[in-house]
Amino acid sequence: MTRTVLSSQEMLAKLVGFDTTSVKSNLELIHWVQNYLEEYGVKSTLIHDETKNKANLHAIVGPEDKPGVVLSGHTDVVPTEGQEWESDPYTLREHDGLLYARGTCDMKGFIAVALSKLPKMVEKPLAVPVHFALSYDEELGCLGAHSLADHVAQMPVKPKLCVVGEPTLMKPITGHKGICDFDCTVHGRESHSSLAPYAVNAVEYGAELVAHIKSIARRMQSEGPFNKQFDPPFTTLHVGVMKGGTALNIVPQHCEFSFEIRNIPEVSADDLVEEIRQYAFKALEPRMKDVDPKTGFTFKPAARVQAFDIANDNPMVDLVLSLSGANGTEKVSFATEAGIFQHAGIPTVVCGPGSIAQAHKPNEFVASEQLLKCENFMDRLLEKLRTAG
Least distance (Å) from Zn ion to the CB of residue 25?
18
- Using an 8 Å Cβ cutoff, are 353 and 113 in contact? yes
SS3 assignment, position 23? coil
Of positions 47, 59, 107, 239, contacts Zn ion by CB under 5 A: 107
Q: Which is nearer to Zn ion, 107 or 272 (CB)?
A: 107
Q: Which is nearer to Zn ion, 187 or 304 (CB)?
A: 304
Phi, psi dihedral angles at 261 (to 5 degrees): -115, 130
How far apart CA 27 and CA 32 sit, in angstroms, is: 8
Q: Bridge-partner residues for 179, per DSSP? A: 305
Amino acid at 301: P
Q: Which is nearer to Zn ion, 305 or 382 (CB)?
A: 305
Stretch that binds Zn ion, among 10-18, 48-56, 119-127, 164-172 (CB under 5 A): 164-172
Q: Which is nearer to Zn ion, 106 or 137 (CB)?
A: 106
Stretch that binds Zn ion, among 165-173, 261-269, 307-315, 337-345 (CB under 5 A): 165-173
Cβ contacts of 12 within 8 Å, gap of 6 or more: 92, 99, 101, 104, 108, 109, 112, 366, 371
Stretch that binds Zn ion, among 110-118, 159-167, 276-284, 312-320 (CB under 5 A): 159-167
Helix, strand, coil share (%) of the chain residues, nearest 5: 35, 25, 40
Q: Which is nearer to Zn ion, 107 or 209 (CB)?
A: 107
Least distance (Å) from Zn ion to the CB of residue 154?
24
Least distance (Å) from Zn ion to the CB of residue 103?
9
Least distance (Å) from Zn ion to the CB of residue 139?
7
Least distance (Å) from Zn ion to the CB of residue 161?
19
Stretch that binds Zn ion, among 51-59, 100-108, 188-196, 369-377 (CB under 5 A): 100-108
> Which is it for the CA torsion 39, 40, 44, 48, positive or negative?
negative
| Count of residues of this chain found to bind Zn ion when the rule CB under 5 A is applied | 3
Least distance (Å) from Zn ion to the CB of residue 133?
14
- Using an 8 Å Cβ cutoff, are 233 and 177 in contact? no
Q: Where are the alpha helices (DSSP H) in 127-246?
A: 145-153, 202-223
Q: Which is nearer to Zn ion, 167 or 188 (CB)?
A: 167
By Cβ distance, which residue is nearest to Zn ion?
106
Q: Which is nearer to Zn ion, 296 or 354 (CB)?
A: 354
106 near Zn ion, judged by CB under 5 A: yes
Q: Where is 382: in which H helix or E strand?
A: helix 368-387
Burial 352-389 (b: 16+ CB within 10 A, else e): bbbebebbeeebbbbbbebbebbbebbeebbebbeeee
From 207, 36, 13, 228, select the one nearest 132 (Cα to Cα): 36
DSSP string for 302-322: EEEE--EE--TT-HHHHHHHH
Least distance (Å) from Zn ion to the CB of residue 172?
16
Least distance (Å) from Zn ion to the CB of residue 317?
21
Q: Which is nearer to Zn ion, 166 or 364 (CB)?
A: 166
Stretch that binds Zn ion, among 45-53, 82-90, 166-174, 229-237 (CB under 5 A): 166-174
260 near Zn ion, judged by CB under 5 A: no
The residue count for the chain: 389
Which residues contact Zn ion (rule: CB under 5 A)?
Answer: 106-107, 166
